[in-house]
Structures are given as structure tokens and as C-alpha cells.
Structure 1
Amino acid sequence: MSVVNQVISGPPKPGNRLSVARLGALESWDLTEVWEMSGRVAGHLLDLGVRPGDRIGVLAANSLEWVLLDLAALRIKAVTAGFDPGKFDSTGAELAARYGLAVLFTDQHETAERVRPITELRGLAPVKAELPTVPWEPGEAPALKFTSGSSGPAKSLLASAGSIDSSLAAVQEIFAHGPGDDLFVFLPLSLLQQRYWVYSALVFGHDLTISTYEAAFATLRTTRPTVVMGVPGFYETVRTHMQAGTARTGAPPADLATEVFGDRIRYLWTGSAPANPATLRYFTEAGLPIFEGYGLNETCIVTKNHPGGHRPGSVGRVLPGKEVLIDADGVIHVRSEHPVATRYEHAEAGDSEKMFRPGGVVRTGDVGHLDEDGYLFVHGRADDVIVLENGKKIVVRRIEERLKTHPAIEDCVVTNPSQRQLVAIVSPSTYPMDTALVAAALQEANAALDHDEQLAKAVLAERFTIDNGLLSSQFKPRRKEIEARYRGLVVDPEEGIRA
């Protein structure tokens, strides 16, 4: 039976728990209680007129109610549409109309037709009649999910049950989550993959702790998880914090790792954006194995490093049910046994044709190669390959990663205003900015780079954040927005720091 259908087939075995951590508060329930409460929510949705195939929107921070709504939707064959409050600034009424929602639940103060407070889902009465169990077919879609592209409006696609099953089965095979494990999730539940771990807990019998990004640091040590699901930006922040602790107290990284993460970590998971190799080495040497993977919203998880199958510098071996194809230009394509989708639901004209190809193939737009043992190495975006006037093709990700190994630089984007020279737009690690350290970082990078890859200068930017529009919701630099905002400094011959 598929994982999705196991989730809806009946209550899990007792003994495992879901905990929800907020700043200053922690609540916990046995997963059997969560299952029972999701049935009450399912009954409530039916009373509201929601029927199979209808879309249910959620515009709210991570919470128990978020989990209950998603499980309830699965149980009545409705479609969950998750909206990240940090990414969508439209009203609930606008979202309901734009995406064809039967109802939208929100934790924001809003009253409109089809918009309801998410708080109404607690304390519901038991359902009067047993809910029918209607299985999901592999090609049916339980979720409408939104891409986290670095520019432009979010695209949406309907994610198939088959793709969810395939991904969870593959991950379970290599990581064997089970009794004794507690997976720590703090990224928004609007991201479908974060909800995978709810399904995993119910089916494979482990604990799950859900928090928010703001509360993650405060709750990690006390909740003592065995696995942390995070993005590279989070681990960069933790590394900076731990290194500052070592400089201040002399404590070795292994001791500080316990202070931050607790004493039960089995491994750390990262993906969704390129990780800094120095950061991966730092955590591994501190006794915290960290495994990078690769995937897109359009493909789900494609590759993953894992215990017994880990090659530094790679994003892992290809998972069962996936096939990686590299075209003549080095662009990565992915064929899936169970495609996530074959088109976008909401996108600009021509976007679906650029991404989705016949036969369940997705053109990722990333450049990379497979080594002789089947490990995938990603070099950067095809769109981020800069062609200089001498015809030399430069993959800027390698240069950016080199710069980010320096403690003065938190993030950066490399551009070329004239096709003759490269310029780095730098988000410094500390404020006020230490220009001498940034100059030293440029000098060190240039010493290790080929002649055509060397940087003419750096211009200092504000810190890249989601709030100022320079990071996506998955903490990826929004390249086009950054280049546009700082173009004046980039092209000005008098501006910038030189090595």
C-alpha cells in the first residue's frame, strides 16, 4: 500500500508523538490523538460543503491546526494549497478567488466569504458517522504547491500522490526513520516536503517536532531531536554562532554542537539550495553528519547523500524511481517513474513547455555532471553561466562558493556588467562592514581562480533577507532582483572594493 494511502487507512500505533514548539511554549500529542482530531476536522470540512477535488487553502504559520487540516484534506480527497505568509501578501479573499479555493483558513485577522479563522478547528465535536476511506490513485493530486523561483510570481503545480509515495519510500530506504527518532521541522508547512515528515511519522512510527524558524534555536536543545531538516542558510547561521562561541570561550565545536542541537543528533538534512562545502565539513568534523541532496518542486527529491553513500562535493546518488539525464550543454534533466506533474496550473504562457518535456522528463535548468559511480555534481544554473567577450563560459556558482568560504562574506552574487570583468555583489557577515576583510576575501578567491574567473571588484549590499526581497522563501539569493538593485554600483568605475 502506498504511503499516502497508509496515512488515511486508519490510526497509527500509539506511542509516538507530535510536538509543536513556539517561543516559550511546547505542546505535545500522541499521534493517535492527532489522527482522531484530523477526523473531526474532516467532518467539519464536509459540514462546510467541501467535497472531493475541492481546494482548501491554508495561510498560517506552522501549528497543530495546519497539520490537522492537511490530514483532514487527505482523508476526504480534497486538495491542500499551502500559502507561506512571508511570501504571499494578498488577502485571503484574493487568494481564494485566484486559486479557486472552496475555503481558506488563516491565522490573520480577516473576515470574508470563504475565509475562516484557523482557530475554529480546535475543540471540534467528534464526527457522527465514520469517514469513508477512499484511496488516492498515483496520478491524483493531494496538493497544490508553489514554486520558490528566484524571480517573478510564484508558479503552481498539482503534485501527484505517486510522487509523494515514491519520494518517501526512497528516503525511508536510505535513512530508516523509525522508533527512537524525532524529526525536527521548522520550515513552513506550506512547503509540501515539510509535510512529508508528518506522513512519515504516522506510517513509520517516529516522533515529530514542528517549530518555526523564529523558535528553532530556542527549542532545539530542549526538544533533543535526532534529525533536523534545514536549508543551507540555517546551517550557515548556526555555524557562525558556534564559531563565535569557540572564539569567546575556547569550547570545541563538538561541545557547542550539543549546546545547540541537544545530544541525540543522528544526522542533519539539507537541500533546496547549494550548501557551502566549508559548512558541511564544519558540522561533520563537529560530530554532526550533514547530508546534502538535490531536487526541485517540479521533480521532488532526485538525489541524496546518506550514511554509506556519501561523496563530498556531490548532492548524492540518484534515488529509485528517478533517472538523471545530462544533455549536450551539460543541463540536468530528470525523468520520474511517478512525475510530480506534467504542467503548471498557474504560470506565464510558455513556462510549462520550458520545464516539462514528454515522457515525464523535467528540464531543471541546472548544469552538472554524473561521476563514474553515479554521484551527481551540480555546477550552477544554466542561466547563470556568464559568457565573456573572449567566448569563455564562466559558471558563477563556483566563484560564489569560493567567496562564501571567507568569514567576512555571508552571501554573494557574481555578475558581469560589461562581459569583460566579473563583479561580486556581497552581503557581509557583520555590520558595520569591514572593507579590509572583504578585500582580503577577494584576494584569496582570485589567488585560487583561473584568470578569466577572477573578480575585478566587490560592491557591498545590505544583508540578503526574505523581508527585503533579496532571498526567496527557501533562502536562495534572488539573482535578478539583486543585480537590478545594485546595478548602479556595479557599473560605476569609482565604486567598489578591490583586492
Structure 2
Amino acid sequence: MTPVSSDMLALQRLYHWEKTAPDRVVLTQPMGQGMTRDYTWQQLAEQARRMAGYLKSRGWEPGSRIAILSKNCAWWLMSDLAIWMAGHVSVPLYPTLAADTIHHILTHSEAKACFIGKLDGWDAMKPGVPAGLPCISYPLSPPESRSSCEDWDAICQRHEPLQGQVIRDAQELATLIYTSGTTGQPKGVMQSFGSFAWALNAGIQRLTMSADDRMLSYLPLAHVVERVLVEHGWLRTGMHVYFAESLETFTADLQRARPTIFFSVPRLWVKFQQGVHHKMPPAKLQRLLSIPILGGIVRRKVLKAMGLDQCRIAAGGAAPMPLALLEWYAKLGLPINEGYGLTENLAVSHLTIPGINQRGTVGPPYQGVEARIAPETGEIQMHSAALMMGYYKDPAQSSAAFTEDGWLRTGDKGHIDAQGNLHITGRVKDLFKTSKGKYVAPAPIEDKLVMHEAIEACVVTGANMGQPLGIVMLNADAVKRSQETASRQALQESLARHLQRINATLDPHEQLKCLVIVTAAWTVDNDIITPTFKVKRNRIEDIYSAYYERWEDSGEQVIWHAD
């Protein structure tokens, strides 16, 4: 693997911008009530240096772990830089975690301190913070958290900036990224400064980024994609990063940022599409788009309303993107590049090439990435310089994650076509066998199922049953409509037709026996989805498996489940 130049490491990039572009505004932070605060490289570097001086003064041994529990904000990035400058290791936590998970991560990582930032529901999270753990509050942290925390601004006022250029070696541990965990307890993925730098080198050869770009940071910075693309992409290129304020202001946040690069997960791309269809019926939109000249005007208006009219690179990942969804956005004039990767390889494995129609695949590997398919299991295995150092304090799991010759076991199934593009067909462990002895891969069926305008999320299940079945969660608009008898009946009939269309495309052993409709939302709070909107299949089994036999025997095509 090509060695990484030391001037490409994260802290060295900060020093570069601090020296060459001190007055450039590169962070825009919403402060509430429509107000924003801008930060230049010089301003944010000074705050990071002052906080680093404080962390250094605590006398913790080099390489101590320091946690960040916050929604995305300017102080999140400054905290990470301060932790690194002080010689320590950052441990980001998702801002939606339950108290038990927070406690597990803080104790497992042996965190010396925790930054407490923008959060909803702090009262429920607070019991997860070990008693006596030093905490530092951001200017936008919950008011009730400040009595037990030291204040960011007060610390910065009383500590002088750390001087000089602290250099962290490429081989040094930079962070522990705890996986969101679709099964079991999250594991701490160890990644080095060199891994991040290499990942950026590979990434910008496929997706060009520069100081002229703008991004909106809204997916959790604790997630590997946001960490690499936003934080390290920002440090590498000097681009302007805007932060989202809240779910309620998301449209306005997008309009303010007008991002030129935009990444989202499939569930949110679906919600954006449903929002467009709510304002303009699909048939009418498709008819207008097919008309010369007028179609171009409609495309521009729709994209402008979404805040994506200046987006030159759109990307999706974290879960498979339904082909029909990719085709819909392409017709809208916003082709989405689909990427593939894991926390264990800094999400830099595969990505479709901009300008080339590779829909239905995740494209070829990035330069410097090798991929292969295990002949016995069909598992995708890969190798690169962005591979993790291992799982923190878990040598057995670390060893199991790699083959004997050092390739990462992804746990995903797939195949590589003649053009070198990778097709992902599901998870190795998600395959289930029906009572007829036939194996079913749920992911491709779910890609078709979720394309109904009323469905927000779905799961195909049915191990040891005669036929698989689909469980679908309605979106908020469909739930509201279902409360009126006539609308409920129309929705049921529409879903029945949707089921028939899907079954017509499937092999007999894959065809769904029925669709089960649930109206109670699957959320992070009730532990059914991860913070990146992946459904936890084990939780679905825990909650609904007792009903499977009854549903199968009902003879109904569409069943309403009383949540």
C-alpha cells in the first residue's frame, strides 16, 4: 500500500489551514431562532487549542480516551481536534443512545471525560454517565446538564492556547468508533490517523472535493461515513460545513447550506421522494418530466425546493439503495452514487463512478482496495490500508473479523460482474430457510417492498415457515390516512396490489405469504432501528415472532397488526 504523506494527517491539515487561510469561514452553526454563528479557521483552531490546553492540564496519560456525546455541531469538531492535540483518543457516541449503551461505551472505553453537547432527552441519558466522570458542556447543551459539567466557554477563557504543532504519528490510534450494533453490544473499532488519511486519498480520487464545496452535516458524526466524508473531508479540502439545527428545521437548513455534496441513507432518500410525491402525484410528475423544456424547468424547481439544486455529487449508502429509487432520482436530474463500506474499513471499499450508469451495483473498488468473493459462502472480503487495527479490548472478535491471510470478512454476500462492479445480495447471516428447505435472501425483496409510497421501513422474515412474510411500517402520512375507514380500505387494496406485483417477480419459494402492517413507529428509542436507520432483525423477531403462525394461517393477503 502507498504510504500516507505526513502533511495529509488530520492535525497537520488543521495547521495548514490555520496558517494559509486563517480568515476563511468554514463552519456555520445554527444558534436557534434563525440565528447562526460563523467560525473561521483561526477562530476554531484557537478554541481547539485552548480546550487542548485544558485537557493537557488534567495530567491524564497519553492516549487516554475522551468521549463526545452530542448531535453534530461546530464544537463537536473542535472537541475532536482538541482531544487529538492533547495527545488522546476520541470516543464518539450516537446522540440517541439509551442510558445502558452509553454506560457500556463509557466504561468499556475507560473514558476519562465526556463532552456533553446538543441532545434531546438528556434526562433519560444521564443515568448512563458514570458518577464522577468529568463532563464538559457545549454552549448548546441541555440547560439541565450544565450544573454537573464544566462550561466550554469558561474553560476556553481561562486556559491559554496550546502552542506549536503537536504531531500524531500515522500509526497512532486516533479514535474508537463503536459500531451501531444491529445485533449485540457495540464493538469499539480502532482506527489510526494514517487510516483516515489513506481513506481520504482514495475517496477524493473517485469523488472530487475542494475548498469551494459545501456540505450539510446532519447524520451523526459518530457514524463512520459522516466522520470520514464531513470531518476528514473538511480538514483535507477546507470546504464549508453547515450544521442542521433540528428535524423541524431540516428543510430550512438545506436551503441555507445549498450543499454541493450531499450524502444520505436510503430511508431518508425514500422520505425525500415521498415528500415530493405528497406535493405532486407520481404520475403527474413523470408526465411533466417527459415533456421537453418543461421537464427541465420542473426538475430545477423540484431540486430547488429540496435544497439540492446546486448538488453536484449525491451519494447514498449504509444500506442497499432500491434500484427503482435510484432510477427515480436519475430522472429528476440527481443521479445518486451508491457506496459500500463498513466501520471496519472506514466505509472506503466501493463506490459507483460519477457519470457512469452502474445502478444496481456499488461500483468497482476504490483505487488501492482489493475485493474478492469467498467461494464457499459467497461472502464479500476486502483488503486496504484503511482496515481497522482491531476491536478494542476484544482480541477474539478481532481475529475472527479477518481471514488467515488478513482480508476483512464483511459478513455481506455478493458477486462481482464482468466489469468489476460489486453486487450486494444481502447479509450472510440474514439468509433464512423456510420449512420447505429453501433459502431466502430478504434484502432484494425488501428493496422492492419499500418502494410503495406508504411504506417507510420493512422486513422480510419467515425462518421455518412455509413461505416468507413481509412486515411493513407505514410512514406518518399513511398512518394518519389509515384512521379514516375509506382511506384505510384504499390503502389496504393498494398494498395488496403491490404485494401481487412483487410476488410476480419472485421465485415460488420467495413469494410472500402476506403483508403485515404496523403503524407504531420503529425508532432508535424503542431499539428497533440503529442510529443509521437499519432495522434490527433480532428485535423484529423478539417483538413479532409469536404472531407469525397466526398470520400465516389467516389466509389474508394484508393484515393490520394492532400495535
TM-score normalised over the length of structure 2: 0.82
CA contact (8 A) 1:309 1:316 kept: no
Q: Does 1:4 align with 2:10?
A: yes
Distance 1:93 1:365 in 2: 28
Higher strand share: 1
- Number of residue pairs matched? 497
Quick one: which amino acid aligns to residue 280 of structure 2? T
* Aligned mate of 1:456, from 513, 519, 528: 513
Once the two structures are TM-superposed, the CA of residue 381 in structure 1 deviates from its matched residue by 0.5
Quick one: which amino acid aligns to residue 204 of structure 2? Q
Q: Mark the CA change 1:285 to 1:352 in structure 2 (over 3 Å): closer, same or farther.
A: same
Q: Which residue of 2 aligns with 1:138?
A: 170
Within 5 A, what are the aligned runs for 1:274-285? 274-285=320-331
Q: Which residue of 1 aligns with 2:432?
A: 386
Q: Does 1:361 align with 2:407?
A: yes
Q: Which residue of 1 aligns with 2:240?
A: 207
* Aligned mate of 1:174, from 201, 206, 231: 206
Within 5 A, what are the aligned runs for 1:364-379? 364-379=410-425
- Overall identity of the aligned pairs, in %: 26
Q: Mark the CA change 1:495 to 1:267 in structure 2 (over 3 Å): closer, same or farther.
A: farther
Once the two structures are TM-superposed, the CA of residue 417 in structure 1 deviates from its matched residue by 4.2
Once the two structures are TM-superposed, the CA of residue 262 in structure 1 deviates from its matched residue by 4.6
Distance 1:8 1:76 in 2: 14
Q: Which deviates more, 175-184 or 291-300?
A: 175-184
Q: Which residue of 1 aligns with 2:148?
A: none
Within 5 A, what are the aligned runs for 1:55-66? 55-66=65-76
CA contact (8 A) 1:92 1:104 kept: no
Q: Which residue of 1 aligns with 2:147?
A: none
* Aligned mate of 1:331, from 379, 382, 386: 379
Distance 1:165 1:65 in 2: 22
Q: Mark the CA change 1:415 to 1:263 in structure 2 (over 3 Å): closer, same or farther.
A: closer
Q: Does 1:293 align with 2:293?
A: no
Q: Which residue of 2 aligns with 1:236?
A: 270
Distance 1:450 1:273 in 2: 24
Distance 2:368 2:40 in 1: 33
**1:178-201 CA-partner distances (Å, limit 9, x unpaired):** 132101120112224323323322
Quick one: which amino acid aligns to residue 29 of structure 2? V
**1:186-227 CA-partner distances (Å, limit 9, x unpaired):** 011222432332332233122111225624323101221111
**1:61-85 CA-partner distances (Å, limit 9, x unpaired):** 2222211110112223310001113
Determine helix, strand or coil for the equivalent of 2:527.
Answer: coil
Distance 1:23 1:191 in 2: 25
* Aligned mate of 1:84, from 94, 103, 106: 94
Q: Does 1:220 align with 2:226?
A: no
Quick one: which amino acid aligns to residue 336 of structure 1? S
CA contact (8 A) 2:267 2:457 kept: no
Q: Mark the CA change 1:338 to 1:268 in structure 2 (over 3 Å): closer, same or farther.
A: closer
Distance 1:246 1:324 in 2: 42
Within 5 A, what are the aligned runs for 1:59-208? 59-90=69-100, 96-107=106-117, 108=122, 112-119=131-138, 120-122=151-153, 124-125=156-157, 128=160, 130-196=162-228, 197-208=230-241
Q: Mark the CA change 1:321 to 1:6 in structure 2 (over 3 Å): closer, same or farther.
A: farther
Q: Mark the CA change 1:497 to 1:24 in structure 2 (over 3 Å): closer, same or farther.
A: farther
Q: Which deviates more, 28-37 or 233-242?
A: 28-37
Determine helix, strand or coil for the equivalent of 1:357.
Answer: coil
Q: Mark the CA change 1:24 to 1:285 in structure 2 (over 3 Å): closer, same or farther.
A: farther
Mark the runs of 5 or more structure 1 residues left unpaired by the alignment. Answer: none
Q: Which deviates more, 409-418 or 138-147?
A: 409-418
Determine helix, strand or coil for the equivalent of 2:534.
Answer: coil
Quick one: which amino acid aligns to residue 251 of structure 2? F
**1:95-132 CA-partner distances (Å, limit 9, x unpaired):** 54332112112135769423323232236138646534
Determine helix, strand or coil for the equivalent of 1:193.
Answer: helix
Distance 1:216 1:171 in 2: 27
Within 5 A, what are the aligned runs for 1:458-473? 458-461=515-518, 462-473=520-531
Distance 1:285 1:257 in 2: 12
Higher helix share: 2
Q: Mark the CA change 1:199 to 1:33 in structure 2 (over 3 Å): closer, same or farther.
A: farther
Distance 1:389 1:146 in 2: 37
